[in-house]
């Protein structure tokens, strides 16, 4: 409960109060569970992220390293949760300009994700994106460009199949337009490869970020035609994403209006149990993970708030005799049992 309240304070920008609560929670968990328990690592990570949000990177780094040591000891050095901790540590080091360490941590995280989750896991692209940002900050533009192209090529292959002369990823089209611009009076219509937005679905924001990042890199190199091609594709992707999100909201509203819709909505939001790629083990604290080295708020509390509101409404209806005859224990059925109100599996990455 101290963890939950601390994260509420964090989302209200009450960082000092949140830090006090997290330190209290840490002391309790160390005493009752032992200093090498995963829950201790989760609280350490929350404290590290909290200090990071306040710009206290030196104070945050040892906490993050201790959380990493615990997870490596308990879960093994090649567990995905270890990779997520490595990502957090890399971002803390990046904000201190420790680029050699940043590269090391990102490369380790990337190796874990690729070996354990596969090349198409979203965390692979996110980590490559973050590593590319590290290269940019050091002026290693060719290394960054190579990673951006890897991300876009993989997204293309996943959506359209193997690359060949008749099936090229968007960055190849961009470079071809750049090379042939002097030979053409009019630009080739964008529509000839406009369907590439399919490779940048709503659930793949990292690909869209990569389009913009590589576009910016092309501009730096003076490749304006190539840059405009990627930027135009990113804009089209964003529009398609917004349309898809609005459409999915309508579908969800229709489903929620059907019998049993509320239960399905809960399951979609993930309260019925952990899902693949949704096990960060950090009680809701997370890094942005899109390559800019900043923090963002977790969506955990919005989901919890909605779940508790719906549960409370059902409980009130039951007590008034107007609702479905659900057991009173339903209030805690959304993954928030009285004995385990730990959000350690309710956030999504990173980065």
Q: Domain locations in the chain? A: 1-118
Residue 21 and residue 210: Cα distance in Å, rounded?
38
Kindly report the length of the chain: 351
Residue 225 and residue 332: Cα distance in Å, rounded?
56
CATH class of 1-118: mainly alpha
Residue 292 and residue 209: Cα distance in Å, rounded?
10
Q: Digits of tens for pLDDT over the chain (351 positions)?
A: 998 899 899 989 999 999 999 999 999 999 999 999 999 999 999 999 999 988 999 999 999 999 999 999 999 999 999 999 999 999 999 999 999 999 999 999 999 999 999 999 999 999 999 999 999 999 999 999 999 999 999 999 998 999 998 889 999 999 999 988 766 655 555 555 667 777 777 667 899 999 999 999 999 999 999 999 999 888 876 665 555 444 444 444 444 444 444 443 333 333 233 333 333 334 444 443 344 444 444 455 566 666 666 666 676 666 666 544 443 333 333 333 333 333 333 333 333
The four Cα atoms 217, 223, 226, 230 give a dihedral, to 10 degrees, of: 30
Q: What token pair was written down for 206?
A: 């990292």
Q: What is the pLDDT of residue 182?
A: 66
With 0.85 as the threshold, say if the pTM is over it: no
Q: List all residues 6 or more positions away from 113 whose beta carbon is below 8 Å from its beta carbon.
A: 80, 83, 121, 123, 124, 127
């Amino acid at each position: 409960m101290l963890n939950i309240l601390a994260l509420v304070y964090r989302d209200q920008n009450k960082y000092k109060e949140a830090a006090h609560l997290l330190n209290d929670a840490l002391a309790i968990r160390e005493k009752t569970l032992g200093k090498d328990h995963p829950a201790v690592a989760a609280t350490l990570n929350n404290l590290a992220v909290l200090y990071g949000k306040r710009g206290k990177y030196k104070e945050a780094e040892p906490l993050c390293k201790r959380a990493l040591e615990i997870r490596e000891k308990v879960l093994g050095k090649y567990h995905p949760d270890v990779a997520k901790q490595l990502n957090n540590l890399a971002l803390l080091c990046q904000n201190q300009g420790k680029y050699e360490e940043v590269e090391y941590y990102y490369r380790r995280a990337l190796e874990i994700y690729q070996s354990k989750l596969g090349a198409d896991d979203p965390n692979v692209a996110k980590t490559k994106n973050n590593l590319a940002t590290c290269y940019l900050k050091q002026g290693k533009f060719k290394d960054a460009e190579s990673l951006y192209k890897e991300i876009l090529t993989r997204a293309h292959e996943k959506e359209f199949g193997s690359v060949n002369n008749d099936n090229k990823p968007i960055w190849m089209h961009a470079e071809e337009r750049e090379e042939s611009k002097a030979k053409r009076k009019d630009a080739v219509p964008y529509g000839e490869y406009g369907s590439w937005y399919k490779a940048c679905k709503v659930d793949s924001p990292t690909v869209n970020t990569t389009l913009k990042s590589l576009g910016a890199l092309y501009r730096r190199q003076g490749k304006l035609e190539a840059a405009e091609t990627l930027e135009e594709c990113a804009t089209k992707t964003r529009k398609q994403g917004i349309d898809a999100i609005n459409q999915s909201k309508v579908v969800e509203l229709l489903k929620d209006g059907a019998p049993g819709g509320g239960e399905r909505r809960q399951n979609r939001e993930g309260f019925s149990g952990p899902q693949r790629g949704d096990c960060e083990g950090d009680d809701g604290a997370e890094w942005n993970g899109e390559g800019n080295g900043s923090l963002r708020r977790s969506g955990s509390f919005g989901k919890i708030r909605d779940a508790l509101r719906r549960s409370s409404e059902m409980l009130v209806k039951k007590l008034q005799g107007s609702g479905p005859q659900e057991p009173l224990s339903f209030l805690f059925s959304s993954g928030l049992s009285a004995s385990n109100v730990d959000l350690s599996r309710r956030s999504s990455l990173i980065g």
